[in-house]
Amino acid sequence: MSIKKINQESLYSWVDSLIRKQRVYGVQANGERFAFAPLTDARLLKLDYDVTILPPKKYLLPQREDLMEFHIKGEYKSQVEAEPFILFGVHPYDVAAISQMDSIFCADNYDVNYMSRRHSATIVACDVQKASPNVFAGCLNTATVQEGFDILLTNIGSQYLADARTAKGEALLKDLSGDTPTAQDLEKREQVWENNQRLLRKHKLKCHPDELAELLDRSYYNPVWEEKAKRCFSCGSCNLVCPTCYCFDVQDDLNWDMETGKRTRAWDGCLLRDFAAVAGGHNFRRQRADRYRHRYYRKGKYIANKLGKIACVGCGRCIDNCVPGIANPVEIYNRLYMSQKNIYVPEPATLMRVLPMTSQETFYEVRLDSGRELGHEPGQFVEISLPGMGEAPISVSSSPTQTGIFQMVVRKVGNVTTALSKFKPGDKIGVRGPFGSQFPVHDLMKGKDILFICGGIGLVPVRSAINFILDNREDYGQIIIMYGYKSPSERLFAKELDAWRKVPKLTLLETVDCPDDTWTGNCGVITTLFPHIKVDPARTSAIICGPPLMYRFVVAELARQGFTDESIFVSLERRMKCGVGKCGHCQINNIYVCQKGPVFKYADIKEVMEAL
Partner 1 sequence: MSKPRLALFDFACCEGCQLQIVNMEEEILDLISVVHPVQWREAMSEQSEEYDIAVIEGSITRPEDEERLRRIRERSRFLIALGSCAATGGINNLKNQLNLKEAQRIVYGDAADMPHLDTDSTKSVDEVVLVDFKVLGCPIDQQEFAYIVRCLVLGKTPEIPTYPICVECKLQENTCRYEHGEICLGPITRAGCGARCPSQATWCFGCRGLSDEPNVYAAREVMDKYRKTPSDLEERMALFCSKPRYDHE
Task: Give buried/exposed letters for 133-169 (b at 16+ CB in 10 A, else e).
Answer: ebbbbbbbbbbbbeebbbbbbbbbeebbbbbbbbebb
Map the footprint of partner 1 across residues 314-343, applying CB under 8 A: 321, 323-325
Which of residues 25, 93, 149, 267 is near partner 1 by CB under 8 A?
Answer: 267
Going by DSSP bridges, is the β-strand pair 428-435/347-356 parallel, antiparallel, or unpaired?
antiparallel
CB of 398 to partner 1, least distance (A): 32
* CA gap 288, 594 in Å, rounded: 34
Which of residues 44, 106, 254, 413 is near partner 1 by CB under 8 A?
Answer: 254
Judged by CB under 8 A, does residue 71 bind partner 1?
no
Choices 30-38, 125-133, 516-524, 595-603 (CB under 8 A): range interacting with partner 1: 30-38
CB of 35 to partner 1, least distance (A): 5
Judged by CB under 8 A, does residue 572 bind partner 1?
no
Find out whether 364 and 374 touch, Cβ atoms under 8 Å: no
* CA gap 132, 202 in Å, rounded: 8
Which of residues 43, 71, 230, 341 is near partner 1 by CB under 8 A?
Answer: 230
Q: Which is nearer to partner 1, 267 or 485 (CB)?
A: 267
Judged by CB under 8 A, does residue 232 bind partner 1?
yes
Judged by CB under 8 A, does residue 63 bind partner 1?
yes
Q: Which is nearer to partner 1, 33 or 422 (CB)?
A: 33
Judged by CB under 8 A, does residue 408 bind partner 1?
no
φ, ψ (nearest 5 deg) of residue 93: -65, -35
- Estimate to the nearest angstrom the gap between the alpha carbon of 61 and the chain centroid: 27
Q: Which is nearer to partner 1, 82 or 258 (CB)?
A: 258
Judged by CB under 8 A, does residue 444 bind partner 1?
no
Judged by CB under 8 A, does residue 61 bind partner 1?
no
Query: Which residue type does 521 have?
Result: G
Judged by CB under 8 A, does residue 97 bind partner 1?
no
Which of residues 101, 131, 153, 240 is near partner 1 by CB under 8 A?
Answer: 240
Q: Is the peptide bond before 434 cis (omega within 30 degrees of 0)?
A: yes
Choices 198-206, 270-278, 405-413, 541-549 (CB under 8 A): range interacting with partner 1: 270-278
Rg of the Cα trace of the chain?
28
Judged by CB under 8 A, does residue 30 bind partner 1?
yes
CB of 33 to partner 1, least distance (A): 5
Judged by CB under 8 A, does residue 244 bind partner 1?
no
* CA gap 290, 226 in Å, rounded: 9
Judged by CB under 8 A, does residue 369 bind partner 1?
no
CB of 232 to partner 1, least distance (A): 7
* CA gap 317, 256 in Å, rounded: 40
Judged by CB under 8 A, does residue 258 bind partner 1?
yes
Judged by CB under 8 A, does residue 235 bind partner 1?
yes
Which of residues 9, 253, 607, 610 is near partner 1 by CB under 8 A?
Answer: 253
Angle between helices 288-297 and 329-339 (to 10 degrees): 90
Judged by CB under 8 A, does residue 31 bind partner 1?
yes
Ramachandran category for residue 430: left, alpha or beta (phi over 0 → left; psi -120 to 50 → alpha): beta
SS3 165: coil
CB of 255 to partner 1, least distance (A): 8
Q: Which is nearer to partner 1, 240 or 554 (CB)?
A: 240
Q: CA-CA distances (angstroms) from residue 409 to 28, 30, 34, 347, 364?
A: 46, 47, 43, 19, 6
Which of residues 9, 32, 108, 474 is near partner 1 by CB under 8 A?
Answer: 32
* CA gap 499, 84 in Å, rounded: 52
CB of 293 to partner 1, least distance (A): 15
Q: Which is nearer to partner 1, 167 or 279 (CB)?
A: 279
As a dihedral over the C-alpha atoms of residue 460, residue 461, residue 464, residue 467, rounded to 10 degrees, the angle is -50
φ, ψ (nearest 5 deg) of residue 125: -85, 160
Size of the site for partner 1 (CB under 8 A): 36
Task: Please spell the DSSP secondary structure of 418-450, one letter per residue.
Answer: HHHTT--TT-EEEEEEEES----TTTTTTTSEE
CB of 166 to partner 1, least distance (A): 29
Q: Which is nearer to partner 1, 64 or 422 (CB)?
A: 64
Judged by CB under 8 A, does residue 44 bind partner 1?
no
Choices 147-155, 253-261, 351-359, 572-580 (CB under 8 A): range interacting with partner 1: 253-261
Q: Which is nearer to partner 1, 139 or 238 (CB)?
A: 238
Q: Which is nearer to partner 1, 188 or 262 (CB)?
A: 262
Judged by CB under 8 A, does residue 250 bind partner 1?
no
Which of residues 38, 112, 194, 233 is near partner 1 by CB under 8 A?
Answer: 233
Which of residues 18, 19, 24, 35 is near partner 1 by CB under 8 A?
Answer: 35
Find out whether 143 and 128 touch, Cβ atoms under 8 Å: yes
CB of 76 to partner 1, least distance (A): 18
> Which residues lie below 8 Å from residue 40, measured CB to CB, with a gap of 6+?
19
Find out whether 263 and 251 touch, Cβ atoms under 8 Å: yes
CB of 236 to partner 1, least distance (A): 5
SS3 per residue for 525-578: CHHHHHHHCCCCHHHEEEEEECCHHHHHHHHHHHHHHCCCHHHEEEECCCCCCC
| Strand partners of residue 76 | 70
Closest CA to 10 of 177, 158, 124: 177
Judged by CB under 8 A, does residue 33 bind partner 1?
yes
Map the footprint of partner 1 across residues 278-297, applying CB under 8 A: 287-288
| 477 DSSP assignment | -
Judged by CB under 8 A, does residue 251 bind partner 1?
yes
Could you tell me the end-to-end alpha-carbon distance of the chain, in angstroms, rounded to an integer? 64
CB of 104 to partner 1, least distance (A): 20
Judged by CB under 8 A, does residue 273 bind partner 1?
yes
- Estimate to the nearest angstrom the gap between the alpha carbon of 608 and the chain centroid: 34
Q: Which is nearer to partner 1, 133 or 521 (CB)?
A: 133
Ramachandran category for residue 589: left, alpha or beta (phi over 0 → left; psi -120 to 50 → alpha): left
User: Considering all CA atoms of the chain, what is the largest pairwise distance in Å, rounded to the nearest integer?
Assistant: 102
Judged by CB under 8 A, does residue 482 bind partner 1?
no
Q: Which is nearer to partner 1, 261 or 515 (CB)?
A: 261
Residues that bind partner 1 (CB under 8 A): 30-33, 35, 53-54, 63-64, 230-237, 240-241, 251, 253-254, 256-258, 267, 269, 272-274, 287-288, 321, 323-325
